Amino acid sequence: MIIKRYIVDNMNEAMIKIRYELGNEAVIVSQRKIREKGIKGFFRHKKYEVTAAADDKPKKNNEEIIKKDELRNEMDELKSMMANLLSKQSEVVDNTKKSKGKKLTINKKLLENDIPDEIIEDIYSKVKAKGGKNLRTNSKQFEEEVNNIIKNIIKTDTGINGRVHVLIGPTGVGKTTTIAKLAGLYSLYKNKKVGLITIDTYRIGAVEQLKIYANILSAPFGVILTVKDIPEVMKTMEDCDLIFIDTTGRNSKNAMQVSEIRQYIDALKPDGIHLVLSMTTKCKDIKRIANDYKIIKYTSLILTKIDETDTCGSILASLYYANVPVSFLTTGQNVPDDIQEAKTEKLFNLIMGAEQ
Ligand SMILES: Nc1nc2c(ncn2[C@@H]2O[C@H](COP(=O)(O)OP(=O)(O)OP(=O)(O)O)[C@@H](O)[C@H]2O)c(=O)[nH]1
Ligand SMILES: [Mg+2]
């Protein structure tokens, strides 16, 4: 409450001042006639002392009040316009979120399975090139087109064609174990006479490792120390239907080591050169390995350690970057059971995370 005292000549003046300073709502609390003190005051007009009161802050004048009211109205209008705009905007955001959510269904599947962005982009541009330009990425049709393109990338080979097969690849991916599995599969289940050879004399114990499997299977076994040994060792295997040759695991970044393997392969002239890749390898590394090993013209892929990974984007990456069919998958350490011929449907399900 504000209380203010005015000394005025008349009540009219008092009302103007009070309205101006305290606003329309102000009330006059008291009024009385007064004279100024002293002799001078005796000869002057009487004055009025008016006391007025108003609530809180003084409302200066009508004009200001009107302006304030106008401002308030404008503010209210603006507020309701903003609210309108915001609700429309959030509708748009909601719709975008919803469509993104749907769009993510196929995109999410690809990303969740660690399929490299580069491959996803290529698949999407292929869908568009095939006439899917106007397809929404969240539509069923778009998803079907993506699936078809992935199935087209997947190529499988019926396995072992021809007589002599070499397994190559990075260190520790499972080359020797896979040779033992293949030898077991073909000798025990397919009644083939299988011979085993190793040219891996680099790693301690590597010869022994394969020799043990050869002994278990009663398969002929040979060791190639130099390129010159090849004809002689191959002669000892003349009666074999199938010959599997193990090689030293090589870091593909070392071009010298890779070309050393190539010298042996050029001399061996095998029917199949199988690049063994572990599916626990990062897709970026798969790309590099697949490219580095291209100087040895590998004819197929053997994908190992499928059991050790939850995401099989590495399968698609291997197929995409190597551009040769997959012949076998290995799914564990058990010799010879944990191996199977590659089948498109199985690979597709693994890539899309529908199968573990
Ligand atoms: N979980 C799992 N382990 C595997 C698979 N294949 C091989 N291994 C294991 O991987 C390890 C390496 O296997 P090796 O056969 O010696 O690999 P490599 O490629 O011959 O190795 P280097 O000769 O040293 O280059 C062994 O412990 C195998 O039992 C598989 O499919 N799944
Ligand atoms: Mg080995």
Tell me if 247 CB under 6 Å of ligand 1.
no
231 torsion bin: left (phi>0), alpha (psi -120 to 50), beta (else): alpha
pLDDT of residue 103: 44
CA-209 nearest atom, ligand 1? 16
Distance 191 CA to ligand 1 centre (A): 25
Tell me if 229 CB under 6 Å of ligand 1.
no
Neighbours of 135 (CB within 10 A): 17
pLDDT of residue 41: 54
Residue of minimum CA distance from atom 2 in ligand 1: 332
Q: How many residues does the chain have?
A: 356
Tell me if 173 CB under 6 Å of ligand 1.
yes
CA-338 nearest atom, ligand 1? 31
pLDDT tens track for 16-48: 888 888 888 888 888 888 876 655 555 567 788
Residue of minimum CA distance from atom 29 in ligand 1: 333
Tell me if 249 CB under 6 Å of ligand 1.
yes
CATH number corresponding to 164-351: 3.40.50.300
Tell me if 206 CB under 6 Å of ligand 1.
yes
Which ligand is closest in space to the CA of residue 181?
1
Residue (of 264, 279, 354) closest to 315 by Cα position: 279
In order along its 356 residues, the chain shows pLDDT tens digits of: 888 899 988 888 888 888 888 888 888 888 888 876 655 555 567 788 988 888 875 555 556 555 666 666 666 665 655 555 554 454 444 444 444 444 447 777 888 888 999 999 999 989 888 876 777 777 888 889 999 999 999 999 977 889 999 999 999 999 999 999 999 999 998 999 999 999 988 888 889 999 999 999 999 999 999 999 999 999 999 999 999 999 999 988 888 889 999 999 999 999 999 999 999 999 999 999 999 999 999 999 999 999 999 888 999 999 999 999 999 999 999 999 999 999 999 999 999 887 66
Distance 303 CA to ligand 2 centre (A): 15
Neighbours of 191 (CB within 10 A): 8
pLDDT of residue 97: 47
* pTM of the complete model: 0.72
Longest CA–CA separation in the chain, Å: 149
Residue of minimum CA distance from atom 13 in ligand 1: 174
Tell me if 317 CB under 6 Å of ligand 1.
no
**Which residues neighbour 151 within 8 Å (Cβ) at sequence distance 6 or greater?**
344, 348
What are the CA-CA distances from residue 80 to residues 73, 83, 311 (Å)?
11, 5, 51
Tell me if 356 CB under 6 Å of ligand 1.
no
Neighbours of 298 (CB within 10 A): 22
CA-169 nearest atom, ligand 1? 19
pLDDT of residue 21: 87
| Integer Cα distance of 341 and 331 in angstroms | 11
Distance 198 CA to ligand 2 centre (A): 9
Which ligand is closest in space to the CA of residue 332?
1
Residue with tokens 């350690």: 305
Residue (of 155, 157, 161) closest to 186 by Cα position: 161
CA-249 nearest atom, ligand 1? 25
Pocket test for ligand 1, best of 333, 334, 337, 356 (most atoms within 8 A of CB): 333
Give the distance, in angstroms, between the CA of residue 73 and the centroid of all CA atoms in the same chain: 51
Tell me if 162 CB under 6 Å of ligand 1.
no
DSSP state of 156: B
Q: Where are the domains of the chain?
A: 2-60, 78-153, 164-351
Residue of minimum CA distance from atom 1 in ligand 1: 332
